[in-house]
Amino acid sequence: MEILLNPGPVNLSERVRKALLKPDLCHREAEFSQLQNRIREKLLRIYDLPATGWAAVVLTGSGTSAMEAMVTSLVPQQGKLLILENGVYGERLTRIAEIYGINHVSLRHEWGEEIKIGKGWAQFKDITHLALVHHETTSGRLNDIRPIAEYCAANNISLLLDAVSSFGAEEIDFANWPIAGCAATANKCLHGVPGTSFVIVRREALLEGKVSQRSLYLDLPTYLTHQERGGTPFTQSVQTFYALDEALDEHAEAGSWQARRACFRGRMETVRNGLLNLGVKPLLEEGGSSCVLNAFHLPDGIDYQTLHDGLKARGFIIYAGQGEFAKTLFRISVMGALTDGDIERLLAAVEEILS
């Protein structure tokens, strides 16, 4: 089987794969209701969130559906959204705002550039919501949310976080950051199957009821109303729910997000040091990247396709740079059911291809 070093979908553990084979189930039966309730509770437990203040809304769709549901359900018609971009997914947040005609301004940074708090922000008036990506998978940069969250709290601004590639493996300080919504997915750090995504919402943010419905399928209040009663407005992807339920148990038993971060950090350090020994340099400074994914400069004299195909022939799938990064970078993610041996064999394979 191929070892997936792309940022999701990830290699499944046998336990999660087997969960896909559970009995067929109607989404209007009590057993589905219990399954969905369990998942919603376990998602809150990862960051110790009380169900009185927070709710997990579970959707059938990829991570982008959760982003779109978050932005369209939480920014009121009278509100104004500031979007901080430093990569493809930040730009995607802007696309969503454009498509739905949401009043917004976007502050563009170079891809991979650090977002520095405050500079030039005085020009932004009447901002009610601020959206950004936590781990910007384009470059591997883990955006430093804390100072931005403090700015938001001081200015009465609600935070919308795309945590699709960080939820379950990086710190998200729900208690102190003014988060209204946090979008994430089953098939990245949580090690589930693609097809389920979710938004963690602050209940107050939905109950304010200031948002007129913009979307039929991606409306969080509609889902929340049904899910609180154990139902669902639309057919959910039952098998991927089974897999997520199992993946969440595996995640909790291993020690939750802190243990997963330690695991990913360990793997990434091996990859980073191993590649440095081969003369392959990371894009970002030490400490700038997430534990999940790092971007690396393609070594002189080798293009992405050659490296990709050489590694694929040896059983490893790496990931290209996006857009303008395609010619100069490659990316390695360390999520999924990998072993230390896989990482050692990867480094040996890179060495073989480069020599």
Ligand X SMILES: *Cc1c(COP(=O)(O)O)cnc(C)c1O
Whichever of 56 and 349 has its CB closer to ligand X, that residue is 56
Whichever of 162 and 245 has its CB closer to ligand X, that residue is 162
Phi-psi region of 195 (alpha: psi -120 to 50; beta: other; left: phi over 0): left
Contact status, residue 86 vs residue 110, Cβ threshold 8 Å: yes
Whichever of 179 and 350 has its CB closer to ligand X, that residue is 179
Whichever of 63 and 178 has its CB closer to ligand X, that residue is 63
> Which residue shows structure tokens 């730009």?
91
Helices then strands (H, E): number in the chain? 11, 14
Shortest distance (Å) from residue 138 CB to ligand X = 8
Cα torsion angle, 315, 319, 166, 38, sign:
negative
Shortest distance (Å) from residue 142 CB to ligand X = 11
- Contact residues for ligand X, defined by CB under 6 A: 7-8, 62-64, 67, 89, 133, 137, 162, 164-165, 185
Phi-psi region of 256 (alpha: psi -120 to 50; beta: other; left: phi over 0): left
User: Which residue number is nearest to ligand X in terms of Cβ?
Assistant: 63
Shortest distance (Å) from residue 93 CB to ligand X = 9
d(CA 122, CA 129): 15
Shortest distance (Å) from residue 220 CB to ligand X = 17
Whichever of 148 and 353 has its CB closer to ligand X, that residue is 148
Contact status, residue 296 vs residue 207, Cβ threshold 8 Å: no
61-65 long-range Cβ contacts below 8 angstroms, 24+ apart: 61/195, 61/197, 61/218, 62/185, 62/194, 62/195, 62/197, 63/8, 63/164, 63/165, 63/183, 63/184, 63/185, 63/188, 63/197, 64/92, 65/197, 65/218
Q: Which two tokens stand for residue 12?
A: 């499944």
Contact status, residue 162 vs residue 132, Cβ threshold 8 Å: yes
Within its chain, how far is the Cα of 107 from the centroid?
A: 21
Whichever of 178 and 192 has its CB closer to ligand X, that residue is 192
Peptide linkage before 50 cis (omega within 30 of 0):
no
Shortest distance (Å) from residue 143 CB to ligand X = 10
- Among 152, 160, 155, 180, smallest CA distance to 96 is for 160
Shortest distance (Å) from residue 63 CB to ligand X = 3
Shortest distance (Å) from residue 329 CB to ligand X = 15
Using DSSP's 3-state secondary structure scheme, residue 54 falls into: strand
Whichever of 162 and 170 has its CB closer to ligand X, that residue is 162
Whichever of 32 and 89 has its CB closer to ligand X, that residue is 89
Shortest distance (Å) from residue 88 CB to ligand X = 8
Q: Would you mind telling me the total number of residues written for the chain in this entry?
A: 355
Whichever of 8 and 181 has its CB closer to ligand X, that residue is 8
Shortest distance (Å) from residue 8 CB to ligand X = 6
Distances (CA, A) of 127 to 166, 193, 269: 26, 36, 39
